[in-house]
Amino acid sequence: MKLAVQKIMPCCQIKAAVNCVAILLLSGLLVELLWSHTEALYGRKHATSIVVHPRPSRSLSSCSGYLGLIDCLSNASWSYQPPAMLQAACQQTKTRHLVLVFVPLRANMALQRSLVRQTWGRHDNGTGFELLIFLVQLPEGEAPDPALSSESAKFGDIFLMGGPTEDTYQCLTLKILSFLRWYSQNCSGAFHYLLKSDHDSVWNANSLNRLLRQRLKLDERNPRNSTRHPSRSNSPKVQSASGLPDSPAEILGGIQRRSTVQRHNSSKFCTPPQAFAPNRYPNYVLGGPGYLISDAAATALTRAADRVAPFWLEDVYITGILAAASRPPVRRAQLSHIYYAAVPAALLRANALASPPLGIHGLSAKQVQRLDSWLREPKAVENAKRLHRIHTLT
């Protein structure tokens, strides 16, 4: 009997080991499956593992960036002074513009605003973007200084926002979300897309406009031929009163996939697990060089923000968390030839002409000027038509 047991035991041990391995493999597959559905579940009642902490607290962590959001939330009231040219565009009822560009900049960054106006942000003889504004936040009740007032009067492109605190990177989420709320309430339907851009970026305006017109099936000779319709919807595709397709609820840009959440206090992007539990963010569109939000998506995102607490990383929150929490979810599409830093090869004239970037981020003032000039050369224009694409939605 004892001998029989000794013979059986090794077999049992082998079977147990095999079973353990099988269980581990199945567990790994289950974890991967759950992660693949994280975005679809985000914002639903039972998706508790990815819910942002409802009330940010200083007791959670010493992460300086995250703690900065708490100061921004101390007073949630905002006031607005939109420029006259934007108000006029919003009040039009017969035509729709293609793109509204908005660049968030602090009040003291006049040189950076001037650089954008003189390069990729300028509108010359029907080329470039139709409308450019700068979002400038001042503490609520504080008047702009004489220099800012003079600049605003001269160019008419400064959108003044009275915010809860000083204009800081940690408040960028609330600044952009507040602007999107204003747009949805006062300007919905006036533009097909809103382009949020960093100031240290360059956009290939003509190429991007062409891609968007093709996407909307608009006549390239008349980018404003779509009649504005009164009601908005975040359905995948909407028809305007003229029968031309409206922009779907989507965000376009450089998609960041499965990005790791930084936990160490030394990281600029440190986020405590109490504020965001998973170790990876949902897919989102990088804030630099920027992203395009369709008119329908702007409304959908602001509605989702009523249900989802703010998160301090603007691009993760707006283009990732809110996009997934929208009902139905706001889709995202990858723009080709998007660069996130000053890649030396992309800053050589020969490379810029042969494979021109659609958008590039992290440039010095000289690099912005040079690259913008190169992208306007005939060879770069032709190659952009051949190379630039909007890839499959996610």
Indicate the average pLDDT of the chain.
80
Answer whether residue 42 is part of any domain.
no
Answer whether residue 253 is part of any domain.
yes
- Name the CA dihedral angle for 313, 194, 85, 146, rounded to a multiple of 10 degrees: 20
Answer whether residue 159 is part of any domain.
yes
Alpha-carbon distance of 119 to 133, in angstroms, equals 14
- Inform me whether the pLDDT recorded for 3 exceeds 70: no
What's the confidence (pLDDT) of residue 141? Answer: 80
Same domain for 15 and 91, yes or no, is: no
Same domain for 234 and 330, yes or no, is: yes
Confidence bin at 95 (pLDDT 50/70/90):
confident
Whether the ω angle into residue 328 lies within 30 degrees of 0, i.e. cis, is yes
Alpha-carbon distance of 372 to 357, in angstroms, equals 10
What's the confidence (pLDDT) of residue 88? Answer: 96
What's the confidence (pLDDT) of residue 44? Answer: 31
Helical (H) or strand (E) element with 393: strand 390-393
Confidence bin at 58 (pLDDT 50/70/90):
low
Range of the domain at 18: 2-36
Q: Give yes or no for a contact between 144 and 120, defined as CB atoms under 8 angstroms apart.
A: no
Which tokens is 231 given? 């009601």
What's the confidence (pLDDT) of residue 281? Answer: 95
Confidence bin at 167 (pLDDT 50/70/90):
confident
What's the confidence (pLDDT) of residue 73? Answer: 72
163 closest CA partner among 146, 142, 139, 141: 139
Same domain for 278 and 352, yes or no, is: yes
Q: Which range has the worst mean pLDDT, 88-102, 147-161, 229-243, 362-376?
A: 229-243
128 closest CA partner among 205, 195, 194, 198: 205
What's the confidence (pLDDT) of residue 56? Answer: 52
Answer whether residue 49 is part of any domain.
no
- Inform me whether the pLDDT recorded for 165 exceeds 70: yes
Answer whether residue 47 is part of any domain.
no
- Pairing between β-strand 97-104 and β-strand 191-197 as defined by DSSP bridges: parallel
CA distances from 279 to 28, 51, 148, 285 (A): 16, 13, 42, 18
Answer whether residue 189 is part of any domain.
yes
Same domain for 352 and 388, yes or no, is: yes
Q: Give yes or no for a contact between 338 and 359, defined as CB atoms under 8 angstroms apart.
A: yes
- Inform me whether the pLDDT recorded for 245 exceeds 80: no
What's the confidence (pLDDT) of residue 112? Answer: 98
φ, ψ of residue 266 in degrees (nearest 5): -75, -15
**Mean pLDDT, range 206-230, rounded to an integer:** 68
What's the confidence (pLDDT) of residue 16? Answer: 54
**Mean pLDDT, range 311-337, rounded to an integer:** 95
- Inform me whether the pLDDT recorded for 251 exceeds 90: yes
Same domain for 240 and 299, yes or no, is: yes
Confidence bin at 11 (pLDDT 50/70/90):
very low
Same domain for 178 and 95, yes or no, is: yes
Which tokens is 82 given? 């939109």
**Mean pLDDT, range 361-386, rounded to an integer:** 94
* 29 three-class SS: helix
Question: Angle 303-322-51 (CA atoms, 0-180°, nearest 5)?
Answer: 110
Same domain for 209 and 116, yes or no, is: yes
Q: Give yes or no for a contact between 87 and 144, defined as CB atoms under 8 angstroms apart.
A: no
Residue 236: give its domain's CATH number: 3.90.550.50
**Mean pLDDT, range 169-193, rounded to an integer:** 94
Same domain for 27 and 93, yes or no, is: no
Confidence bin at 344 (pLDDT 50/70/90):
confident
Per the structure, the count of domains in the chain is 2
Confidence bin at 124 (pLDDT 50/70/90):
confident
- Inform me whether the pLDDT recorded for 266 exceeds 90: no
Per-residue exposure over 283-301, b if at least 16 CB sit within 10 Å of its own CB, e if not: bbbbbbbbbbbbbbbbbbb
Same domain for 111 and 228, yes or no, is: yes
Alpha-carbon distance of 265 to 368, in angstroms, equals 33
CA distances from 76 to 31, 178, 276, 336, 363 (A): 38, 10, 22, 37, 33
Answer whether residue 44 is part of any domain.
no
Same domain for 30 and 78, yes or no, is: no
Same domain for 355 and 312, yes or no, is: yes
Answer whether residue 57 is part of any domain.
no
Confidence bin at 257 (pLDDT 50/70/90):
very high
Same domain for 32 and 69, yes or no, is: no
Which tokens is 114 given? 């001037």
pLDDT over 90 percentage in the chain: 56
pLDDT, tens only, 72-83:
776 568 899 999
175: Cβ–Cβ under 8 A, 6 or more apart, which residues?
A: 104, 135, 137, 161, 163, 167
Alpha-carbon distance of 174 to 170, in angstroms, equals 9
